[in-house]
Structure 1
Amino acid sequence: MTNNEGQHVFISYVREDKECVDRLCEMLKAAQIPFWRDLKNLEPGDDWKIKIKEAIRNNSLVFLACFSDNSRNRPRNNMNEELHLAVEEFRRMPPGETWIIPIRFDDGSVPDWGIGANRSLNDINRVDLFGDSYPEQAVALTNKINRLMGANENAATTLAFVEESRSQERPELLRRLTKEMIVNPAKQIELDDLIAGEVRSALETLNDDPRYGSQVRSGTNEDQIRNFVQLASETWEAVRPFCYSLAIAARWGTADSLSPWTAGIKNIVSAASKHHDGYESINNVRHIAAVAVIAVAALASTAYSRWDNFKTLLAGPRVPENYHVGSTIGVLDATGYWKPFDTSASLPSIFSRAETSGDDPVELFNQYNNRQLGKLHTPIPDWLHSVMKPIFEWTEEEHTQNYHLSELMLGVVGQDVSTQDALNRGHNAQYARSNWFGRSTWALRHASQSPVDQLRSKLEREGASGALLQAGLFGGDLPRALSAIDKYNEDYREYARRISW
């Protein structure tokens, strides 16, 4: 990792912060950064003061001073002595040298500790290892230490760091890393390896046949309901970090740089749609992952008018078709909003409400049975609309508007993909249907003009020079695009009419 043998990071803290420091050490280990810590490096019989002085003065390239209410509430502690030694060393260094880095474990202040030249610890840029910013700050800290130690960052180190991160931190961490690396061509190989590793992790869950085994349908009716909802939730969590990265890539990536996300979508959709032994009702839960990655790619591409990326990620990729050996099918034709629970009338609504409200699935089921609660018109799109909000961080109005537009694009492009698949197989394209009818069918049913009609009018005005066709969607052919829209519009209106009954 470094060319300077024996160099290390010194960690100064009070014992009450042991848990936070344990986590910090796990992070440094994952990043392959050597560190010195009293519990790790002091042996029985050692003179701790001498050993700590040696550790600070000999080859300690970075001094991490960790603060929290625990340290602030103990004015007399061994950490103060370590800080005195660190400040003495710091004063011998040339101006501008980075050596002491304050770490905060909470939102309290950094002590106004003088470090010379009319400066204090407060004047040094700190790192906050707490709250929602933890992943971002952790990456910044390890990158800074790597640079100070003359290390070459590599994919193995970054991947190890991601794998060691806590599950709730992985999505934000993947987002941060993707945002930093996708604009840097020198990081392309490292980023490709990082995303490939994340996809492998997701596929481990989706290809875990015992997880989707018959035990899900065992036990009482209440047990089975909880099992199904839990399984669907775990399936979503398996692809959530990939989705946070995908949202960045779909906005900022290019056709040349999107290959790891395109491959990820193909692999995830393929894992969901391929034949698995066992109950179809359980196996289909895998489509939760498939519709999630497709919905995220569509929303990011549509919101920022990246029609080139929409085509690369969604209109072009194909996966093996189950019932025709050697043939393929478009990813938008291989899955859809109703695939995850297509054999159940109530489970989609129970899952959607349980995940977005936190209510107990069994209680929701009982309310449905007692007619105290009605079924949702579009449960999976409603769930996606909710869980995708933190990924994009728009206002409620912006999010809903962008989401509905992305649904329409999925619908009409999905219709085109389905039509082309039918034609390629020599089937009657009249029976080709889009799999993507979302919440806009009921949320916008009272609009003065159908959103599908608005999209058609826009395409007619722009003609062949419009952005959608120039990006290669609908094969760049205006009549083909209008045909797909008209066919989708027929089903869209029928779906909206049924809802309004």
Structure 2
Amino acid sequence: MPGDHVFISYITEDSDAIDELQGALEAADFIVWRDKDKLWPGDDWQVKIREAIRSGSFVFLACFSSNLAKRQKSYQFEELTLAAEEYRQRPPGASWLMTARLDECEIPSIDLGMGRTLDRTIHRADLFGKGKLAQSGRLIVAIQRAIGNTPAAPPPSVVQTTSEARRADSDVVDRVRQLLRAPNLVMDYDDYLADLRRPILAGLQDRDRFPLYLPSVSRIDPDFARAWIRRIGQYDDLLAPMLVPMKLIAMYGSQDHEQELTRTLQTLANESMQREGLSVLTSAHEYPSLLLTYAAALGALAKRNYSMLRAATADALVNNPSGYGRQVPFVLTSGSQSIVGIDQWLGLGTLLSYNDEGKSVSDEEMNDLLTARGGRRYTPISDHLFSVLAPVFSDQFSGESEYAAAFDRVEVLLDAISEDARDQGDEPYYGYHGGYGRYTWRHRYEKSAPEMQLKAEVEDQGSGWTPLLGGLFSGDPARASKAFDEVHAIAASVRRSR
């Protein structure tokens, strides 16, 4: 969890309690900032805290006790004023600002805008009394979730199918293992994948279940938003039985298994690319294929099985959505941003994030988000995918931080594959490209963004870089390096705009 900081705002009378709190946070691998005058010699502490808040890897924890009421003035109020100013500019529900009580005291009623106040709106932990230990644990979990390493609650259907696959009497893992190990069972493997995708394809083609036209809809309102969120949940439920097999095939598959994996993703991707209908619904219809692509990509990454990553991405071609020219990879035409658009439906995506986090939102707050009056999440679909797939990959990564880093790496690779595909062929591709997911906001202030770390690997290892050996970028290190440069140029532009 390197780079994840917690700034503790407090008064000196509470130093003993803060020492104890700092120990608990550092034991959870957070870097704790306190005593601002000692943190950044020669730097403006206000600028540094503002930068940290905007980076997404920071929590401002304001700690209070009855000692504050005895003071006429305190530097803590200056710190809280800065935090309040930044909070007013963040999306409703932003969770980087938290409070803790060290005894039975009142929290100052500081105005946070939009009717929100520090004492009534913000997550609070009571670090005293009999519940102190439990409250400390909940506070650490809340901080982890705010920083972005901890996924939100995954869909129950995904949790259930993943749990069932782990049971001793489940044949899911054994069946896939048997099919992948035996060279003489390739036909059985092909039939297995066909049987897996058939009900999913039929479900996606069911226009009663997933209509692409809604003649009565004249605007996107709270009722439509709730129906849209249910729709994404129905997609998750439909795909849930396929996530574990897709992961295992991508992890352990060999050359004999590439073609049918490509065909499976290609078949579902072509169904996803519907251009007739209400645009907000046709865009949402791309989500199921994107979920499967992420599942395969994470599986391939977990075992460095990059030939299967190529089969699931660069080889999974769909018709050019512009209606002419060459076929292109699905990951070029779609991505986590295409589901909600660059801007037009981010309000829907933000409400999906709130739903994942269990936050209740009033119709008035929904309308603010849907009409661009309220702040929006930067990457809501990417965040949702991160949460959906977390239980599927809980055995492949040692903890939430490692999973988050792997997810970032996968998203960078998907964007690089997309950029590389855009550069190929005689006819230029002018359509939508790239997903530009969580890695854009998570690494805004780091010296080396993940896409540049991958480029450095290419330059260091050349044609021996493992993804090139798997056939990505046609094995050409120059193409890979150029693709990462293009990803970085766009990601840097995205980061500057936030």
Shorter chain as denominator, the TM-score bin is 0.5 to 0.7
The CA deviation at 1:176 is 5.3
Unaligned segments of structure 1, at least 5 residues? 1-129, 141-172
The CA deviation at 1:239 is 1.9
- Judge conservation of contact 1:434–1:488 (CA < 8 Å) in 2: no
Using the alignment, how far apart are the partners of 1:205 and 1:401 within structure 2? 33
Corresponding position of 1:269: 269
- Matched to 1:201, the amino acid is P
Q: For 1:264-413, list aligned pairs within 5 A.
A: 264-276=264-276, 278-325=277-324, 327-342=326-341, 343-357=344-358, 359=360, 365=366, 368=369, 374-393=375-394, 394=397, 395-413=399-417
Cα deviation digits, residues 337-379 of structure 1 (max 9, x gap)? 1222224230011123313437568586267479997421111
Using the alignment, how far apart are the partners of 1:224 and 1:282 within structure 2? 11
Corresponding position of 2:142: none
- Matched to 2:211, the amino acid is Y
Corresponding position of 2:16: none
- Matched to 1:196, the amino acid is A
Using the alignment, how far apart are the partners of 2:203 and 2:458 within structure 1? 41
- Matched to 1:392, the amino acid is F
- Matched to 1:192, the amino acid is D
- Judge conservation of contact 2:161–2:240 (CA < 8 Å) in 1: no
**TM-score, normalisation: structure 1:** 0.60
Q: SS of the counterpart of 1:182?
A: helix
The CA deviation at 1:460 is 0.8
**CA gap 1:447/1:360 in 2 versus in 1, 3 angstroms:** same
Using the alignment, how far apart are the partners of 2:223 and 2:257 within structure 1? 45
The CA deviation at 1:480 is 1.7
Cα deviation digits, residues 443-500 of structure 1 (max 9, x gap)? 111222122221111111111232222222112222222211111111011111112x
The CA deviation at 1:409 is 0.9
Corresponding position of 1:177: 175
The CA deviation at 1:138 is 8.0
Q: What value does the CA root-mean-square deviation take over the aligned residues?
A: 3.0
- Judge conservation of contact 2:334–2:435 (CA < 8 Å) in 1: no
The CA deviation at 1:410 is 0.9
The CA deviation at 1:250 is 0.6
**Structure with bigger gyration radius:** 1
**CA gap 1:252/1:415 in 2 versus in 1, 3 angstroms:** same
Using the alignment, how far apart are the partners of 2:361 and 2:260 within structure 1? 37
- Matched to 2:233, the amino acid is S
Corresponding position of 1:223: 223
Q: SS of the counterpart of 1:392?
A: coil
Cα deviation digits, residues 35-76 of structure 1 (max 9, x gap)? xxxxxxxxxxxxxxxxxxxxxxxxxxxxxxxxxxxxxxxxxx
The CA deviation at 1:404 is 0.8
Using the alignment, how far apart are the partners of 1:311 and 1:389 within structure 2? 22
Cα deviation digits, residues 12-40 of structure 1 (max 9, x gap)? xxxxxxxxxxxxxxxxxxxxxxxxxxxxx
Q: For 1:76-475, list aligned pairs within 5 A.
A: 139=169, 174-175=172-173, 177-210=175-208, 211-215=210-214, 218=217, 221-276=221-276, 278-325=277-324, 327-342=326-341, 343-357=344-358, 359=360, 365=366, 368=369, 374-393=375-394, 394=397, 395-420=399-424, 423-425=425-427, 427=428, 434-475=433-474
- Judge conservation of contact 1:378–1:438 (CA < 8 Å) in 2: yes
- Matched to 2:308, the amino acid is N
Using the alignment, how far apart are the partners of 1:478 and 1:134 within structure 2? 42
- Matched to 2:494, the amino acid is Y
**CA gap 1:197/1:315 in 2 versus in 1, 3 angstroms:** same
Q: SS of the counterpart of 1:339?
A: helix
Q: SS of the counterpart of 2:340?
A: coil
Using the alignment, how far apart are the partners of 2:169 and 2:307 within structure 1? 31
Q: SS of the counterpart of 2:313?
A: helix
The CA deviation at 1:133 is 5.8
Unaligned segments of structure 2, at least 5 residues? 1-159
Q: SS of the counterpart of 2:328?
A: strand
Whether 2:498 is the aligned partner of 1:496: answer no
Using the alignment, how far apart are the partners of 2:161 and 2:320 within structure 1? 45
**CA gap 1:392/1:328 in 2 versus in 1, 3 angstroms:** same
**CA gap 1:411/1:238 in 2 versus in 1, 3 angstroms:** same
- Judge conservation of contact 1:332–1:417 (CA < 8 Å) in 2: no
Cα deviation digits, residues 63-91 of structure 1 (max 9, x gap)? xxxxxxxxxxxxxxxxxxxxxxxxxxxxx
**TM-score, normalisation: structure 2:** 0.60
Using the alignment, how far apart are the partners of 2:301 and 2:173 within structure 1? 19
Q: SS of the counterpart of 2:255?
A: coil
**CA gap 1:174/1:331 in 2 versus in 1, 3 angstroms:** farther
Using the alignment, how far apart are the partners of 1:444 and 1:193 within structure 2? 43
Q: SS of the counterpart of 1:424?
A: coil
Q: SS of the counterpart of 2:318?
A: strand
**CA gap 1:461/1:432 in 2 versus in 1, 3 angstroms:** farther
Cα deviation digits, residues 72-123 of structure 1 (max 9, x gap)? xxxxxxxxxxxxxxxxxxxxxxxxxxxxxxxxxxxxxxxxxxxxxxxxxxxx
- Matched to 1:225, the amino acid is A
Using the aligned pairs only, state the percent identity: 20
Higher helix share: 1
